[in-house]
Amino acid sequence: MANYPYLTVVGASNASLGQAGGQLIQDGDTATYVGPFVAITALSTCVFDFSESEMGFITGMDPLAVDFTLRAGLTIYGRFEEVTLASGDAILYKG
């Protein structure tokens, strides 16, 4: 989660749900976005480069996986420190 020094229980819950804001990234944007991000929603089918994020929290996925495809309309939750979009459109939710 973002570094909030004094959060109430409700405030901490809101931050964990991505209510600290979001970042729209679109196809062709190859910048690396620094989180932490708590959720990612694919607006179109996306391929992400997670080479700087630990993906071991996803059961059955190689924790050292570099590329990850997320189909349009799906949202995944976790802690993503750095995200780079290889293709597609997505929203990254800060937390």
User: What does the pLDDT look like over 40-95, one tens digit per residue?
Assistant: 999 999 998 776 666 555 666 665 666 788 999 999 888 888 888 989 999 999 88
Based on DSSP, count helices (H) and strands (E) in the chain, helices before strands: 1, 6
User: Tokens 């196809």 correspond to what residue?
Assistant: 27
pTM of the model: 0.72
User: What does the pLDDT look like over 19-43, one tens digit per residue?
Assistant: 678 899 999 888 888 888 889 999 9
